[in-house]
C-alpha cells in the first residue's frame, strides 16, 4: 500500500514538472534566423486571410497563433522591433521568421538576406 502511494506521488510530481516545463518553453526567448519578404508578395493574401503589405510590421512563423505580437532583436546590433504574426512560414529549416521588409529594415540591412535574431512573445 505504501509503495502504491509513493508511486502515485512520483507520477504527480512528474506530470506537474512536464506541465510547468511546457508553459515556460512557450514564454522563453528563442534564437534563430530571420529573412524578409520579397516585394512580389505585396497585395497577396497571407495564411490569416489579410492582404500582405511590406510596409507594415508583420511576420510569418510556422507555429505561433495569428495576431501574436513578438519582439524580434537583431543579435548583431541589439536593435528591436515588435511585429504581429499574420502568416505561416518560413518553409526553410534554418529560419524561424519571415518578417516584412519594413520590420527587417528597422533592425538590419536589407542588403543581407538573413540575420540572426532572438524573439519572444510580448503582451
Domain residue ranges in the chain: 30-121
- Give the torsion through C-alpha atoms of 99, 105, 106, 109, to 10 deg: 110
The whole-number pLDDT of residue 53 equals 97
Q: Is the pLDDT of residue 31 over 70?
A: yes
2-26 tens-digit pLDDT: 778 776 777 767 665 544 444 445 5
The whole-number pLDDT of residue 5 equals 75
Percent of the chain past pLDDT 70, that is, above it, reads 86
| CA atoms within 13 Å, Cβ hemisphere of 41 | 21
CATH class, domain 30-121, is: mainly beta
Amino acid at each position: 500500500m505504501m509503495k502504491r502511494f509513493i508511486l502515485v506521488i512520483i507520477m504527480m510530481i512528474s506530470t506537474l514538472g512536464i506541465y510547468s516545463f511546457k508553459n515556460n518553453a512557450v514564454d522563453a526567448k528563442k534564437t534563430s534566423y530571420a529573412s524578409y519578404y520579397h516585394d512580389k508578395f505585396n497585395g497577396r493574401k497571407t495564411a490569416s486571410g489579410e492582404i500582405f503589405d511590406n510596409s507594415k510590421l508583420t511576420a510569418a512563423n510556422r507555429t505561433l497563433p495569428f495576431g501574436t505580437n513578438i519582439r524580434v532583436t537583431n543579435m548583431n546590433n541589439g536593435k528591436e522591433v515588435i511585429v504581429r504574426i499574420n502568416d505561416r512560414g518560413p518553409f526553410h529549416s534554418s529560419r524561424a521568421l519571415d518578417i516584412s521588409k519594413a520590420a527587417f529594415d528597422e533592425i538590419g540591412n536589407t542588403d543581407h538576406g538573413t540575420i540572426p535574431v532572438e524573439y519572444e512573445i510580448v503582451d
